[in-house]
């Protein structure tokens, strides 16, 4: 049997399903929230919310943006397709004494369970970018917003450096992975302008939020990726324990050879698309 494992490409990215996010939810909430709060704070600052604003957070994950907004006095409606992420959200909201300010639901961002013209701002941080039908996601954000209210949607600036190397090596050693084929979603400012305008938003602008993370060593980088990186964790889950025990050392060593032993600077810049109803 070959060491390589093939996947038949599905009709949509696996990152548009609950499975990878259920798998990483606990580690994500424990380790990644400080990094993601950088982008959430930038989005909230750009939104300039009025006092007591009602907001909707789509693909809310463990509540990174929602709980910052609720702590500042907003009333939050939040949806995510992952039961495990919503569980982390509720646990964090309860611990912070903010659960009463949050309507938290498992749901599909392409079919929001809210009335028209309800919210003062809408957010989707690194979630709508994976939707099978992004235009439907943008249109739903617009539908539930009050006239003149903003929608703010983020995506990753195309990856370079350690993360890009990791995914490239993984694809080389496991041909047929259903990740990363073609152009990444919302990977250029023009994509935001075109898709948000198509969905009916006006005055669309795109900001870039720069942020670098430093891993003190390659070992710490690799360990974190095995716990928190949704594509890699899903690969490990799908190939199974025995196959991963063969493949992981090969991937790890190829990536270490390319990157060195560290420290590693990981660029995690983001685009923030902003449009108004």
Record the tokens describing residue 241, joined without a space. Answer: 């324990």
What pLDDT, on a 0 to 100 scale, did the predictor assign at position 7? Answer: 37
**Mean pLDDT of the region 17-24:** 95
What pLDDT, on a 0 to 100 scale, did the predictor assign at position 10? Answer: 37
For each of the domains in the chain, give its residue range(s) and CATH number, in order of start: 14-276 (3.40.50.150)
Q: Which pLDDT band holds residue 261 (cuts at 50, 70, 90)?
A: very high
Q: What's the predicted TM-score (pTM) here?
A: 0.91
**Angle between helix 230-259 and 19-31 (nearest 10):** 60
**The pLDDT of residue 101 is above 70:** yes
CA distance 106 to 140: 16
Record the tokens describing residue 186, joined without a space. Answer: 């919302």
Backbone φ, ψ for residue 254 (5° rounding):
-65, -40
What pLDDT, on a 0 to 100 scale, did the predictor assign at position 266? Answer: 86
Average pLDDT, the chain: 91
Q: Which pLDDT band holds residue 20 (cuts at 50, 70, 90)?
A: very high
What pLDDT, on a 0 to 100 scale, did the predictor assign at position 163? Answer: 83
């Amino acid at each position: 049997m070959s060491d390589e494992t093939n996947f038949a490409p599905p009709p949509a990215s696996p990152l548009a399903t609950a499975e990878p996010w259920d798998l990483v939810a606990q580690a994500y909430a424990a380790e990644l929230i400080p990094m993601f709060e950088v982008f959430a704070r930038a989005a909230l600052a750009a939104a300039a919310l009025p006092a007591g604003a009602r907001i909707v957070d789509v693909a809310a994950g463990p509540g990174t943006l929602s709980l910052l907004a609720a702590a500042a006095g907003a009333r939050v409606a939040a949806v995510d397709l992952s039961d495990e992420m919503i569980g982390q959200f509720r646990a964090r909201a309860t611990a912070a004494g903010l659960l009463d300010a949050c309507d938290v639901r498992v749901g599909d961002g392409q079919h929001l369970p809210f009335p028209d013209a309800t919210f003062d701002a809408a957010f989707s941080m690194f979630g709508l970018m994976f939707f099978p039908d992004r235009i439907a996601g943008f249109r739903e954000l617009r539908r539930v917003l009050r006239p003149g209210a903003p929608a703010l949607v983020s995506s990753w600036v195309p990856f370079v450096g350690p993360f890009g190397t990791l995914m490239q090596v993984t694809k080389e050693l496991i041909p047929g992975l259903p990740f990363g084929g073609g152009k990444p979603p919302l990977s250029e400012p023009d994509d935001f302008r075109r898709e948000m305008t198509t969905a009916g938003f006006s005055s669309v602008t795109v900001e870039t939020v720069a942020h670098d993370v430093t891993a003190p060593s390659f070992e710490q980088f690799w360990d974190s990726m095995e716990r928190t990186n949704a594509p890699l964790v899903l690969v490990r889950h799908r190939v199974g324990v025995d196959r991963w025990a063969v493949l992981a050392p090969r991937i790890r060593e190829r990536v270490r050879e390319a990157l060195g032993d560290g420290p590693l600077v990981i660029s995690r810049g983001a685009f923030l698309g902003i449009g108004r109803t």
